[in-house]
């Protein structure tokens, strides 16, 4: 799938393939022309992806071929055992989690999971968790704490499920309890935004010692489309909304709302998933080691202080 701003790159790549095919069929030496065109494509790619607008970053974060939570878990771990259910209502398929082995150490992985096709998207509820999903996540966090294992969360959701049944089962309470309990976890907690990070649905598993974002992801209280529909009564102003929201990884880092940005392969994580997983695994091991050396009480106080310093309070 090509995004609109990728069309010029695709056109040049098409010409390159035609040139190589012509060379094979006619035995004409076009090596210099091929080399020149390859350099031109490389330069255009660098310029394009270095100067993406905020809305274009949002589009990349939603690319259907982009790796999802389970892709990263299976790509990073040597062994993974998925755990199910919140022990109260049901097993929410939009929230996945379990113990994985990374370089000989056990880590609790938790994250929202989207689907690849229509059937999977319905089963995963488009990555929008119900209250039982957040309660399941909290149960797994408490289990990790019990066995003194670090926690890694992958955030990729358009928001918590807003349906009537979700509200009846206590969606707000489930997310609020997660926020409170995550502050007090005694084990290291690393949170990675791998796609969409929308509203309280994302924040419900995003209170950690280190909060990181992949390069082409977004994190905001509301999606650009929803913001546009509220302010302008139309989705047609989503580009302006994205600019106003300042929701990219670079914006979040400048505002000191995250701790760092993890670079993606040129063109996005979907173009080279293996390289992305290697980069992410290396970063995770480094962060777990870094946070793991701290005393539990010191870690909790630093976590609380970090989030308490966000935003501005004006007293009357």
Domain ranges of the chain: 10-24+31-51, 58-309
For β-strands 95-102 and 79-82, DSSP reports them as antiparallel
For residue 145, the model assigns a pLDDT of: 98
Q: Which residues contact 307 (CB under 8 A, 6 or more apart)?
A: 183, 207
C-beta separation of 99 from 145 below 8 A: no
pLDDT of residue 313 exceeding 80: no
Name the 3-class secondary structure at 207.
Answer: coil
Residues in the chain: 316
pLDDT of residue 196 exceeding 90: yes
- pLDDT tens string 236-258: 999 999 999 999 999 999 999 99
Q: Which residues contact 125 (CB under 8 A, 6 or more apart)?
A: 92, 93, 94, 161
Q: H or E stretch including 249?
A: helix 249-254
Q: Name the fold adopted by 58-309.
A: 2-enoyl-CoA Hydratase; Chain A, domain 1 (3.90.226)
Mean per-residue pLDDT, 292-313: 93
- pLDDT tens string 138-186: 999 999 999 999 999 999 999 999 999 999 999 999 999 999 999 999 9
For residue 240, the model assigns a pLDDT of: 96
Token pair for 80: 């993974």
Residue 239 CB-half CA count within 13 A: 4
State pTM to two decimals.
0.93
Mean of per-residue pLDDT scores for the chain: 94
For residue 33, the model assigns a pLDDT of: 83
For residue 1, the model assigns a pLDDT of: 78
pLDDT of residue 312 exceeding 80: no
pLDDT of residue 29 exceeding 90: no
> 257-271 as b/e, with b when 16 or more CB fall inside 10 Å?
bbbebbebbebbbbe
What phi and psi values does residue 220 have, to the nearest 5 degrees? -160, 165
pLDDT of residue 28 exceeding 90: no
Res. 49 pLDDT band, cuts 50 70 90: very high
Q: What is the DSSP letter of 248?
A: B
Mean per-residue pLDDT, 40-67: 94
For residue 314, the model assigns a pLDDT of: 81
pLDDT of residue 27 exceeding 90: no
């Amino acid at each position: 799938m090509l995004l609109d701003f990728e069309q010029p790159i695709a056109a040049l790549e098409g010409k390159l393939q035609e040139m190589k095919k012509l060379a094979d069929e006619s035995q004409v030496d076009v090596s210099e022309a091929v080399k020149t065109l390859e350099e031109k494509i490389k330069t255009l790619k660098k310029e394009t992806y270095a100067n993406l607008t905020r809305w274009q970053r949002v589009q990349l974060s939603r690319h259907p071929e982009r790796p999802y939570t389970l892709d990263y878990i299976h790509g990073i771990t040597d062994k993974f055992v998925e755990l199910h259910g919140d022990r109260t209502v049901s097993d929410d398929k939009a929230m996945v989690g379990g113990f994985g082995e990374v370089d000989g150490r056990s880590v609790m992985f938790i994250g929202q999971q989207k689907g690849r096709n229509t059937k999977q998207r319905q089963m995963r509820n488009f990555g929008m968790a119900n209250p039982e999903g957040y309660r399941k996540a909290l149960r797994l966090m408490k289990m990790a704490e019990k066995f003194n294992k670090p926690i890694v969360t992958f955030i990729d959701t358009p928001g918590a499920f807003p349906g009537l049944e979700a509200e009846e089962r206590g969606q707000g309470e489930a997310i609020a309890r997660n926020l409170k309990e995550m502050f007090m976890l005694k084990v290291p907690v690393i949170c990675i935004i791998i796609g969409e990070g929308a509203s309280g649905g994302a924040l419900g598993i995003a209170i950690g010692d280190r909060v990181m974002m992949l390069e082409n992801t977004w994190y905001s209280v509301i999606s650009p489309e929803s913001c546009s529909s509220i302010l302008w009564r139309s989705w047609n102003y989503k580009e302006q909304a994205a600019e106003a929201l300042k929701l990219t990884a670079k914006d979040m880092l400048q505002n000191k709302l995250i701790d760092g940005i993890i670079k993606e392969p040129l063109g996005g994580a979907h173009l080279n998933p293996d390289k992305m997983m290697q980069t992410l695994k290396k970063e995770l091991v480094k962060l777990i080691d870094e946070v793991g050396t701290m005393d539990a009480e010191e870690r909790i106080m630093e976590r609380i202080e970090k989030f308490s310093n966000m935003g501005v309070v004006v007293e009357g």
